[in-house]
Structure 1
Amino acid sequence: MYLAFMNVGGQELILLLIIVLVLFGAKKLPELARGMGQAIREFQKAKDEFSDELHSSGRTDKATTEVRSAPATIPTAPRIENAAPNPVVRPESRATVEPGSAADRV
């Protein structure tokens, strides 16, 4: 058995597995493998989300394009031609405020 990764052959692979078994024990190996599997899944999920985000940022949404291309119109209220003009109320020019009066207090 020959692996192209760092020229590890069959004998070297068996020796590495025995060393790992001695270091971690038979009870810890399934937990370590499970943790490695979860880490790899999380990494792949993050990688896929990142690539999806890159691909979606390059595309334009049809609804967004239609909204941008439509001219903006401001709705206006209908005009009523026969309405009476509003009376203009102007303040008296000679009105004075005495200190201490009700108009002086806020």
Structure 2
Amino acid sequence: MFNIRDTKNPDFRRKVLLGHVKPERILEMSTPEMVSDQRQLENEKIKKRALFECERAGAPKATTDQFKCSKCGKKETAYHQMQTRSADEPMTTFVTCVTCGKNWKFC
């Protein structure tokens, strides 16, 4: 009931009223499923940032001039690789610019 009455979450109430979410399904839904679309995007950003920070903190890094920073244009970077998806997928490379601190990743 809190999620349906929440004034900051009009999306969920609208989904229930329009029939996109059946009333009996509400009993089985988790809290993250009921939050507003805006809050879901914010939560996803928080998760990605936390994962990036966690992975970045513990893994050993190597320095290279192979990558160019899109923010400052320098080629002074540190990187590490980690298997973040299934074993048949390529490893993800996490890069940090030593000069300005910008972080990015690619597969």
If asked which structure has higher relative contact order (CA below 8 Å, sep 6+), I would say: 2
| TM-score normalised over the length of structure 2 | 0.29
| TM-score normalised over the length of structure 1 | 0.30
Which one has the bigger helix percentage?
1
Which one has the bigger strand percentage?
2
Structure label with greater radius of gyration:
1
